[in-house]
Amino acid sequence: MADFKLSMNPKNKLDGPSRVSWQQARVLEMQAEHADAFDTSAGTYEQMRASYREERKMWNSGGPVMAKTVELKVPCGDHEVGARLLRPVEDGVLPVLFYIHGGGMVVGDNDTHSLAQRKLAAYSGCAVVGIDYSLSPEAKYPLPVEECVAVVKYVTEHAAEYQLDPERIGFSGDSGGGNLSMGSILALRDQGFDTSKIKAAVLYYGGYGLGGHCVAGFLHGGAWDGMTEADLDYYNKMYLGDQDPNDCPYYNIYVNDLTWGIPPCFIVAAELDPLRDDNRLLYEVLTDKGVHCEYHEYKGALHAFIHYSKVMDDAEDALRRGAHFFAHECGLDPRN
């Protein structure tokens, strides 16, 4: 039987901008006001990434100031991976949350996700290590997963040097970073890593295998959020190349064994996101397997909304709740 893919006529999708919350609407207005200053859809990949970095500068300005920031270079095969260690306090041995940024694995870095990382550190009272994995299409699956795993192993092996607790670690990420977080957890588990050290995963609107082929995928996504069917197919192609997702268990995590070695998960979804049901499915599967999970779906929110905590109360709430979830699983009682 020939392969086929069910598609939705774009005219049949719901009108996202008419359904967003008033604060999400303000974000769309602010983005439109600056639309002429950058274009992430044209030019070379480096130009796309530079435009994305420029667009994110305003959204990442201000916020918590870290007591200490350390730039790391981690060996991985024949190259190095950049990582950024953020400490909200100067002294003391802290649990560490590894943050893996989104951007479809094509754009993004620690600077474009700086505010989210700093708020997670400040609200949890824990250290955060942001991972600057290699981007696609230059780096194909599974290299970014391998790089994230390398950073985790390096940091835990050198924990004493950085006043970190290697027995209390966690993962967080948004969008593609949510996928890489789950992929890294599974890869570490399958390599024999002691997963009891992984206390929690804090996951923001990730894609875990459905690829938008679900009810939310057919209803939502458009030019307003860069999440059309064509956009999702593009990112998938950039990351996987010609690989079948069903042959990639650290990308399509549903083909992997989710019955063991999974930490408690804090799962955030956006109501108007084509990836919404992927997050709901992850919650349903893990809960059924006995994993402690929380699921929070923010009404009137679009994909990528945690970037906009300067404007959106829901983004601030999602970051604060996620930070508190990790801290609680580490045995801490955050007061902020």
Identified catalytic residue from 114, 175, 181, 309: 175
Asked if residue 278 lies in contact with residue 250, where contact means CB atoms within 8 angstroms, the answer is no
From the list 303, 309, 314, 324, the catalytic residue is 303
Does the annotation mark 333 as catalytic?
Answer: no
The residues near 18 (Cβ < 8 Å, ≥ 6 apart) are none
Exposure string of 265-292, with b = 16+ CB inside 10 Å and e = fewer, is bbbbbbbbbbbbbbbbebbebbeeeebe
Q: In the structure encoding, which two tokens stand for residue 5, read together?
A: 């893919």
Can you tell me the distance from the alpha carbon of 79 to that of 88, in angstroms, rounded to the nearest whole number? 29
- Catalytic residue list contains 109: no
**303 flagged as catalytic:** yes
- Return the structure tokens found at 224: 């307003």
DSSP designation for 310:
T
What's the order of all strands across the beta sheet hosting 293-298?
Answer: 68-76, 79-87, 127-132, 94-100, 164-174, 198-204, 265-270, 293-298
Q: How many CA atoms lie within 13 A of 59 on its CB side?
A: 26
Q: Provide the Cα torsion 42, 43, 48, 49; round to 10°.
A: 170
Among the listed residues 174, 273, 278, 314, the single catalytic one is 273
List residues with catalytic annotation.
Answer: 175, 273, 303
